[in-house]
Amino acid sequence: MPSKLLDALLLAMPLSPTLESWRQHLINHLNYPVQGAQSLFIGDPVLVIVSFQHGQAEVLLPAMEWRHHDMQTTKPTSQGVVDGNTGTLEQLLALVEEGIALRLKSFHECSHCGKRCAPEELGSLMGDPTCRTCLKGRRVLF
């Protein structure tokens, strides 16, 4: 068999029925926008990532930093893993909720417009946390 075809088959391999049903549940029943396929990016900005692979679902907290007007993605931190055979959807949902709560706690208010922003969306203007939109406005003004 040509190796390219084998690659395609491996990539197209479906998740186990359990993992696939968990994935569908997350896509359809969360009050947040969800993007992605094998890895789900939940929320906008991303609050939590759920990665489906190796027969398990892993919940990850995104770690992004905004430095020098550039978004930097650092390694996400794992919140926990639920095994597709021994775990339950309830365990996965609990991890997702925990992750979202933790992530929201890291949000700060922009000292200029008051919008609550993800840490990577905030810069600083004379020592005050300031969102990207406000910073951009400043740069145009001065």
C-alpha–C-alpha distance, residues 44 and 138, integer Å: 25
Please, what is the minimum distance in Å from the beta carbon of residue 137 to Zn ion? 8
Pick from 30, 47, 118, 134 the residue near Zn ion by CB under 5 A: 134
Under rule CB under 5 A, which residues in 93-132 are in contact with Zn ion?
110, 112-113, 131
Please, what is the minimum distance in Å from the beta carbon of residue 91 to Zn ion? 38
Cis peptide bond upstream of 45, omega within 30: yes
Q: Show Cβ contacts of residue 130 under 8 Å, excluding neighbours closer than 6 positions.
A: 110, 111, 112, 122, 123, 124, 138
Under rule CB under 5 A, which residues in 60-89 are in contact with Zn ion?
none
- Give the residue with the Cβ less far from Zn ion, 60 or 117: 117
Candidates 109, 104, 99; CA nearest to 130 is 109
Please, what is the minimum distance in Å from the beta carbon of residue 60 to Zn ion? 28
Which tokens sit at 50? 């759920």
Q: Using the rule CB under 5 A, give the single segment among 15-23, 39-47, 60-68, 134-142 that binds Zn ion.
A: 134-142
Under rule CB under 5 A, which residues in 20-49 are in contact with Zn ion?
none
What DSSP state is assigned to residue 31? S
- Residue found by looking up tokens 């075809």 in the block: 5
Length of the chain equals: 142
- Give the residue with the Cβ less far from Zn ion, 54 or 116: 116
Q: What residues make contact with Zn ion under the rule CB under 5 A? A: 110, 112-113, 131, 134
